Amino acid sequence: MRARATARSVAVELEQMGRIGVSHSLRIRLARTALCNGTGLEQELLVSGEMNEDDYYKAFAAALGLPYLPSLPLEQIFYSDKLEIQLQMPRMVRLYPPASPPVTVLVPEAFRLAELEDQFRRFPSLRQSIAITSPGALRQAVWQIGSVRRTEEASNSLFNHAPAYSARQVVTGPQGFWAGFSLAGLVGGLVISASVFLPLLHVVLSTAYLSMLALRAATLIHQSRRRAQRPDPLSHTPLPVYTVLVAMYREKSVVSQLVDALKRLDWPPALLDVKLACEADDEETLEALEKLSLPPWFEIVRVPAIGPRTKPKALNYALAGARGTFLVIYDAEDRPHPGQLKEAYARFSNCPDEIACLQAPLIIANGEESWISSLFALEYAALFRGLLPMLARLHMPLPLGGTSNHFRTDILRRIGGWDPYNVTEDADLGLRLYRAGYRCQTLRCQTLEDAPISARIWIGQRSRWFKGWLQTWLIMMRHPLRTCRDMGLRAFFMFQLMIGGMLLSSLFHPAILIFFATNLCVMLQPASTPLPWRDVIMFWVDMTNILGSYAIFMTLGRGAMTGHERKKLGLRYFAIPFYWLMTSYSAWKAALELRTKPFFWNKTPHRARPRPPIAEPLRTAQATGAEERLRLLLQEPPPEKTEAI
């Protein structure tokens, strides 16, 4: 339970754990690992699989002559906010049995075994009011007794403390007024003088579209000039605890793949805190997880079915128990690079404290399955390996992806976590971090995930994203001047291009196509008089918008891809116009859903993929140094050198 072990504490544990029944050979092996990882023997024992938690703490209780409680009676625990800290550091709770004195239930440490025995020798009556339990039993009790209040906090904390940043209120009164005024002006202009209003609308839309094209072109230039980024050196100090959060709902088919992928993370298991947040009524997923016999560093968090049924609410609920100094979010179908956590820790260690989040690139692994997944892979390559690195280099706000976000946990808690009412919580969080004075950067180690292969699933997922981007834009534009002051003029303008421009270009892409087709038909017809210069200019602007957007979309994505990825893509980029029309349809669907069911979470189904080979871990210099420290600790001579025969 200690934050960090020392050689002295390891020496004490070596002696005391022998009295609990841990064999000498196992203690020596655990000490070697503990000195290598900067942990304790007890931590290493509990994740090693050599002795389960119940057996260990039962033996601890027997050594002290105290009763052991494998589970705690919930009705005898008085809940208060102070009890929440036991989710992160399970140490102690008091029971209030009826008609009996209170009982203090401890989660003891081997390091303090002798100290506890000394206390009992000096005060024998203490034994009457003390019992022993395990960390898992204590956490489970606290999760249960505080579940309703914690769910309320997870659902409404942001709205209660900072309502201007919450999507719970879809549209404010002033926004509703201006939306109605704009719609009335649009309809009125078309009715009164369509011949004047339509050309004006054409100019406005084409100019906005051209601005988005300029942003993509700038990304393309940045991509061509970008040099390979040197990896940050990994600190030689002991690693901290790292929390991994995964929100799961109806994920029975991928639970085995997920657990295998998380087991491959290159981080000491004793310093990993993996939390799988599942809806309490999702019996199929919970049953599939329980059948896997999860490692001791995994914990299933059951999220009560109260409030919005969204991923961010589940993440907020599980965040209460996060033990890590750093925290990463993954989706259930993700296969993160094993070295991603160490790269993120190295970056955090070498960058200013204002860097609150690191976004790992997401790479589509099933790009060859259909034309939809191929173009999805192209789009992700352009976004995560093109646009986001450019924005990070320019110190601009990042609309985060929904997975593989690495955070400083204290900052994440400080800004209120995720908005449970925003169905694209990642983009909202990236912008909220920027407004609070923090920045985001990008990583090199990727996360593999799968794209939808059917139009129905793709449209359902994309419409949810568009709905969340609409929510985010409305939140940021509740007080435009305040938002501009918080972000700065350059960042505010970039936000309008990234979110506002993307929404506008998606919604009105068919209109640009119609304008272009109309002007093309006019130009192809023989005319007795020259065409007005305005029509000629707008024709070329529209052609640049359409063909340029398609070309940059393809070039930016292909430029970020590896040769193998480009080979899998083949000639499917000819379907880009259809892909953009599907995008427009999804955007209009999202706009209608924002009115009828703003918080509906359109779940994307996932399926398992073939398992990649597992590489053997390398023996590091840190492990060699641990061998030397262990010999000094045990006062053993180094092995004698022998001559080769």
Position 593 scores a pLDDT of 93
Position 260 scores a pLDDT of 95
Q: Tens digit of pLDDT for each residue in 70-93?
A: 999 999 999 888 899 999 999 999
Residue 472: C-alpha distances to residues 102, 145, 210, 423, 427 (Å): 50, 34, 23, 9, 7
Residue 183: C-alpha distances to residues 187, 201, 357, 457, 503 (Å): 6, 13, 39, 31, 17
Position 623 scores a pLDDT of 52
Looking only at the bridges linking them, the beta strands covering 362-364 and 326-330 are unpaired
Q: Does 636 score more than 70 pLDDT? A: no
Q: Tens digit of pLDDT for each residue in 557-587?
A: 998 898 888 888 888 888 999 999 999 999 9
Residue 393: C-alpha distances to residues 116, 226, 250, 396, 553 (Å): 54, 10, 38, 8, 21
Position 111 scores a pLDDT of 84
* Percentage of residues of the chain with pLDDT beyond 70: 91
Q: How far apart are CA 291 and CA 125, in angstroms?
A: 44
SS3 of 460-523: the string is HHHHHHHHHHHHHHHHHCCCHHHHHHHHCHHHHHHHHHHHHHHHHHHHCHHHHHHHHHHHHHHH
Closest to 333 (Cα-Cα) out of 285, 381, 290, 280: 285
The pLDDT mean for the chain works out to 87
Q: Does 372 score more than 70 pLDDT? A: yes
The amino acid sitting at 424 is T
What value does the mean pLDDT take over residues 256-260? 95
Q: How far apart are CA 410 and CA 433, in angstroms?
A: 13
What lies within 8 Å, CB to CB, of 249 at 6+ separation is: 278, 279, 282, 285, 309, 311, 314, 603
Q: Does 301 score more than 90 pLDDT? A: yes
616: alpha, beta or left? (left if phi > 0; alpha if psi -120 to 50): beta
The DSSP element (H or E) to which 330 belongs, if any, is strand 326-330
Position 601 scores a pLDDT of 87
Position 470 scores a pLDDT of 95
Residue 184: C-alpha distances to residues 234, 285, 508, 591, 596 (Å): 59, 49, 18, 17, 21
| Cβ atoms of residues 231 and 343 within 8 Å | yes
Q: Tens digit of pLDDT for each residue in 437-447?
A: 999 999 999 99
Q: How far apart are CA 151 and CA 153, in angstroms?
A: 5
Q: How far apart are CA 28 and CA 30, in angstroms?
A: 5
Q: Does 287 score more than 90 pLDDT? A: yes
Closest to 518 (Cα-Cα) out of 206, 209, 213: 206
Q: How far is CA 287 from the centre of its chain?
A: 24
What value does the mean pLDDT take over residues 321-325? 96
Q: Does 637 score more than 70 pLDDT? A: no
Confidence label for 638 from pLDDT (cuts 50, 70 and 90): very low
User: Sign (positive/negative) of CA torsion 291, 295, 296, 297?
Assistant: negative
Position 520 scores a pLDDT of 81
What value does the mean pLDDT take over residues 458-470? 95
Position 618 scores a pLDDT of 42
Q: How far apart are CA 462 and CA 604, in angstroms?
A: 10
What lies within 8 Å, CB to CB, of 498 at 6+ separation is: 215, 391, 397, 399
Confidence label for 614 from pLDDT (cuts 50, 70 and 90): very low
Helix and strand tally (H, E) in the chain?
25, 13
Position 152 scores a pLDDT of 94
Place of tokens 């957007």: 549
Among the residue ranges 57-71, 185-199, 327-341, 369-383, the one predicted with the least confidence is 185-199
Q: How far apart are CA 161 and CA 78, in angstroms?
A: 26
Position 407 scores a pLDDT of 98
Specify the length of the chain in residues: 645
The pair of three-digit structure tokens given for residue 313, joined into one six-digit string: 């609410």
What value does the mean pLDDT take over residues 487-499? 92
Q: Tens digit of pLDDT for each residue in 182-199?
A: 778 877 877 777 777 777
Higher pLDDT among residues 437 and 603, named by residue: 437
| Cβ atoms of residues 318 and 150 within 8 Å | no
Confidence label for 179 from pLDDT (cuts 50, 70 and 90): confident
Q: Give the Cβ contact number of residue 424 at 10 Å.
A: 24
Q: Does 645 score more than 60 pLDDT? A: no
The pair of three-digit structure tokens given for residue 360, joined into one six-digit string: 């790992």
Confidence label for 633 from pLDDT (cuts 50, 70 and 90): low
What value does the mean pLDDT take over residues 620-627? 52
Position 238 scores a pLDDT of 85
Among the residue ranges 1-15, 152-166, 499-513, the one predicted with the least confidence is 1-15
Most confident of 266-280, 519-533, 628-642: 266-280
Total-model pTM = 0.89
Higher pLDDT among residues 524 and 613, named by residue: 524
Q: Does 203 score more than 80 pLDDT? A: yes
What value does the mean pLDDT take over residues 365-390? 93
